[in-house]
Structure 1
């Protein structure tokens, strides 16, 4: 179609055709195997996660090397390509290609037809065409992986008003002010942000508490793991012990299915906005976050991550929002516009490392070392720690636990639990322990995707507030959201502070249970067994969550206004720069 007829069946023609054909086979077969491994991890065709991974080649390539037998996989792909080419030649697949000499008009006609077909597909086809079943797995399997990848690339950010059902913004904020009102909330009209308000102290007659806070965002720690066993033994003995000696939130739900969603939830205390997490978006510095509250109380804020914080834009987000950075720098450089201090975790501080970062007990050892230094300054500190070990390839230092490294999720969970136990044991020997509160909460569940568009049970996570003397043993069974953890903690400290958070103090007598459960596109809200889900194309559905299944039901107009108001205002505030500090 491209070459003049005089070149047909020439050596150049044959080399060119077989080169393009081989390249096509490489793409097809490589994509097939890549999709199999992607499905194994995310239970999905290529989506926005695959697009994100194009940026973070070090972590992704190293993770693949550590998780899969690459020589066998690559050798298999090469063998299959060779067999396909051999069968093609034996079957005279290209006979007409090398012997027919079509007229120029025929070539032009075929070229124009294919060009129009390609262009038309961009406008006429979309991934939503596959969503014909209530079973998410069926919808995902019906998609084309390569098309899904480019579809995700084109739709990396979704504007709420263009894609989701909305109401007048003034009405939405009126709903939110009503939902956020409780016994300690005072709204002030002087603020540009309509939900910015003052939260009064829980007990004004008593002094504020200012303990140190070590906050651990646990990678992929599903609530179900606390009941699981391996070889007859619990895989979370330390977390189970903490649960019996802390405020244990046994009915908490995660905002999303990725780490950056968990970070967004706890740091900004906000429902998940459609598209990318705010952690990964532009213009996400100088926002009003939990760091502002801690800073106003005289705390030194620090963010710890065992990998390079360039991954998922963590350093830019936390460094740009009031945290000093401690990470395993691999040469990435922060923008000069980000005013922070960055400290490297050195080789001599590392005993084990994989694709995602240093082992959990290494990062906790670093936290304790820095805590020792901060204790000497007599300034309270807030340490935000992101763990990494409970992640494929599930590797850790041998001899730590009774499950061999690299053998699967149970071992990674038990190692993560071991490291938490070791953190507590070492901290107990320190003079600052008695005045330090530990908070443990999962970022999201492991393997969060399920057969439903939003699989509610795969948002159920554990959370604990440990070593708070006034609440040494309390199991909170009411439904709570990931975004409630810090507003609740601030209330337990008896703090008066400025808030523009969507999270609430779950111990307030006026607290009404609800949680947010979202994906990249689907935006869900749960109130008991009632679940409402906003979808793009301005759709809304409501369900009953019964026996861990979603059953269709009639949309309740009050619930509809509530879910729309929460998500619409959250997106509006960020898009209009009203989440900023001032």
Structure 2
């Protein structure tokens, strides 16, 4: 005897409609696991595949995958809840299949996007991915110029189709199953959401951190989970999440750094314990200053620093004719971190770099020091300066901001999504300096290059490596443009009265076996002023935050400083130190020890050579690292709605 729809409904399985989400749930977990294994292989580190290392990463990763899969499948659960119990079940199957195809397409797209992101940042999605949602023009343009999108999207389409077809029969079967009434369906849907909430609350992002090896930690994660975690924690309250010290101890530690009475006179304030008058060694050198921050030029590309041969002959030559800083280290892995360090001379506090935070105008900057001395401070960028909030940050701190919009189309030899070719940027800088020099103005010009960035394209016939073939060519082209820039500047009347500074913003990649591998932050720096600077190699350990006080010190500029960096060329006293960050983990290197500070008051102290330091020395290094970051966070945290007033010189 055939059952009526009502009879079938009465005998229906209690959770039949939830079965609509089952096939997609399984597909999500499988694709996520394959992505995890694929990223491990893509990372090209065979040690990640050791069973006792990969096994725990896969198991932990399954927890993240399940949590995200429950939410990914929620649209199908809601569809089953909303659809009437005994109406158009075949139509329900079709709608459910179309919705599943869309969700699978999104899943495959995210998986492919993770490989693209990993190729650039050696990481799962993080706060950089969140930031890049603000700059879709540059990001999408970069992808279009760097990858062959037609086969890429064709592959995504084929994978989506095959996965959807594989699930089609089970989806249709689930749709044809009898369903309970609305109240029971509502109970099922509510129970599903409750389970999703409970699983999400029970999964801890910190679990994978126990794996130790940074790349293994990243492999264990889930891209969607990491993305939403970054959205939630994009701003990090240092005082709440990191180790701290009593304020009196912080002040005492920092003030010892600048206690030399021959060079400094402390003028501490409650907001700035290291505010100090800088006492010059001699008469001020009233020279123009051109500081070029070079995109992604790590030591790995500079032969005299142990890097690749023949890629930077012009920079090497300038180094031989000026001051070449052999042990200079970047503070971060992004341009905005380099700009922060070079402009503000501040340790890289957790979360966003200061230029990306609100209320970041009216700060104490190197451009402000020069402006107080009668200079015009310029910021010149080859791209559009709204990117990474550059226009707002530099414009709000007294700089004249000039970007690619100031270059006539006929004067552009090449451009890509990131900006004009470096030679065009340097020609713009020459023109702007010429104009001001002709008017009798002194200039501090900060020039930020763009060519050494994916898709690595540049004008043809400049170097012996074809455009668009890889980073080596982009490095060599940037070096060519630097050489051409110096030679053109040499013909200007202002050349002999100008100090040139060439320093990288960061290295090409910060991947390593620790959270903060020192060697991945190593960058070159050259100070060049023919006839004014005696050539020599500077082997003092130095950080990007030392650049501003060092070049101001060489110029013998008298000023009241609020910089956290030191003058590498003349400061004695405490041992030099470094500051490095990779977003949530921030680091301090001093006295042969490396300190790592993490959320939840996590700390770690090791010898730079991997040795275990004595308890006493480890505590001293830890306290010093905490003191610097705590003071910097208090000063620059976005919780401070008004910056402290600029100091007045005595």
Matched residue SS, 2:302: helix
Contact 1:360 1:388 (8 Å CA) reproduced:
yes
1:52 to 131, 135, 141: 131
Q: Is the 8 A contact 2:378 2:400 kept in 1?
A: yes
Q: Write the mapping of 1:531-546 to structure 2, written as runs, cut at 5 A.
A: 531-546=594-609
- Residue of structure 2 in register with 1:152 after alignment: 230
Q: Does structure 2 retain, via aligned residues, the 8 Å contact 1:192–1:578? A: no
Query: Who is 1:333 aligned against?
Result: none
Cα distance, 1:92–1:525 mapped onto 2, change above 3 Å = same
The one-character-per-residue Cα deviations of 1:163-186 (angstroms, maximum 9, x if unpaired) are 100011232122111122233111
Q: Aligned in 2, Cα 1:161/1:33: closer, same or farther, shift over 3 Å?
A: same
Cα distance 1:579–1:126, how it changes in 2: closer, same or farther (>3 A)?
farther
Q: How does 1:101-250 map to 2 (within 5 A)?
A: 101-104=179-182, 106-182=184-260, 183-189=262-268, 192-203=271-282, 207-227=283-303, 234-250=310-326
CA shift at 1:130, angstroms? Answer: 1.4
Equivalent position SS for 2:450? coil
After TM superposition, give the deviation of residue 580 of structure 1 in Å. 4.5
Equivalent-residue separation in structure 2 for 1:73 and 1:95 (angstroms): 33
Alignment of 1:252-271 (within 5 A): 252-271=328-347
Give the one of 353, 367, 381 matched to 2:443: 381
1:4 matches 2:84: yes
Partner of 1:558: 620
Contact 2:359 2:643 in 1 (8 A): no
Aligned equivalents of 2:644, 2:507: Cα separation in 1: 27
Q: Which of 278, 290, 294 is the matching residue for 2:370?
A: 294
1:354 counterpart (408, 416, 427): 416
Give the Å deviation of 1:473: 0.8
Show structure 1 runs of 5+ residues with no match: 330-343
1:384 shift after superposition: 0.5
- Contact 1:8–1:98 under 8 Å retained in 2: no
Distance change (3 Å), C-alpha of 1:50 and 1:192: closer
Residue by residue over 1:198-231, the C-alpha shift from the partner in whole angstroms, topping out at 9 and shown as x without a partner, is 101113xxx21111111101100001211299xx
The structure whose Rg is larger is 2
- Counterpart of 1:340 in structure 2 is none
The answer to whether the Cα contact below 8 Å between 2:326 and 2:524 also exists between their aligned partners in 1 is yes
Structure 1 CA distance, aligned partners of 2:209 and 2:284? 52
Residue 573 of structure 1: aligned partner: 635
1:418, distance to aligned residue in structure 2 (A): 0.6
Specify which of 454, 476, 481 is matched with residue 414 of structure 1: 476
**Deviation, structure 1 residue 440:** 0.5
Residue in 1 that maps onto 2:580: 517
User: Which residue in 2 is equivalent to 1:39?
Assistant: 118
Query: How far apart, CA to CA, are the structure 1 residues paired with 2:513 and 2:98?
Result: 41
Judging changes above 3 Å, is the alpha-carbon distance between structure 1 residues 578 and 184 closer, same or farther for their aligned structure 2 residues?
Answer: farther
| Cα distance change of structure 1 residues 445 and 526 upon mapping to structure 2, 3 Å threshold | same
- Report if the CA contact (8 A) 2:304-2:316 is conserved: no
Matched residues in 2 for 1:170 and 1:82: separation? 64
CA separation in 2, counterparts of 1:97 and 1:14? 5
Tell me the TM-score normalized by structure 2: 0.83
d(CA) in 1 for partners of 2:325, 2:571: 17
Change (3 A) 1:554 1:190: closer
**Equivalent residue, structure 2, for 1:308:** 384
Counterpart CA distance in 2 for 1:116 and 1:328 is 52
Deviation at 1:193, TM superposition (A): 2.5
Q: Which shifted more, 79-88 or 463-472?
A: 463-472
CA deviation after TM superposition for structure 1 residue 569, in Å? 0.4
In structure 2, runs of 5+ residues without a counterpart are 1-79
Relative to total residues, which structure has the larger helix share, 1 or 2? 2
Distance 1:106 1:450, change over 3 A: farther
Conserved 8 A contact 2:96-2:171: no
Q: Partners of 2:353 and 2:99 in 1: how far apart? A: 39
CA deviation digits over 1:96-133, x for unaligned, max 9? 23223234454233312221233335543342221122
Cα deviation per residue 1:409-453 (whole Å; 9 max; x = unaligned)? 110110111110110111111111111110011111001232311
RMSD across aligned positions (CA): 1.8
Matches within 5 A, 1:430-441: 430-441=492-503
Secondary structure of 1:244's counterpart equals: helix
Which residue number in structure 1 is paired with residue 154 of structure 2? 75
Structure 2 CA distance for partners of 1:422 and 1:150, relative to 1, 3 Å: same
Q: Please name the residue that 1:18 is paired with.
A: 97
Provide the C-alpha distance between the structure 2 equivalents of 1:516 and 1:58, rounded to a whole number of angstroms.
Answer: 32
C-alpha distance in structure 2 between counterparts of 1:345 and 1:259, whole Å = 22
Indicate the SS of the match to 1:234: coil
Partner of 1:92, secondary structure, is: helix
The answer to whether the Cα contact below 8 Å between 2:271 and 2:644 also exists between their aligned partners in 1 is: no
Contact persistence 2:293–2:449 (CA under 8 A): yes
What is the rounded CA distance, in whole Å, between the counterparts of 1:352 and 1:185 in structure 2? 48
Number of corresponding residues: 558
CA contact (8 A) 1:126 1:151 kept: no
Q: Which residue of 1 aligns with 2:564?
A: 502
The alignment partner of 2:351 has SS state of: coil
Are 1:65 and 2:115 an aligned pair? no
RCO greater where, 1 or 2, for CA within 8 Å and sep 6 or more? 1
Query: Which whole-Å CA distance do the structure 2 matches of 1:180 and 1:327 have between them?
Result: 37
Structure 2 distance, partners of 1:554, 1:151, is 36
Change (3 A) 1:118 1:459: same
Query: Which residue of the partner structure matches residue 351 of structure 2?
Result: 275
Superposition map of 1:436-451 within 5 A: 436-451=498-513
Residues 290 and 498, structure 2, Cα contact 8 Å, conserved in 1: yes
Residue in 2 that maps onto 1:87: 166
Shift, 1:14, TM fit: 2.6
SS of residue in 1 equivalent to 2:380: strand
Q: Distance in 2 between matches of 1:216 and 1:321?
A: 19
Q: TM-score under structure 1 normalisation? A: 0.92
CA deviation after TM superposition for structure 1 residue 311, in Å: 0.4
SS of residue paired to 1:131: helix
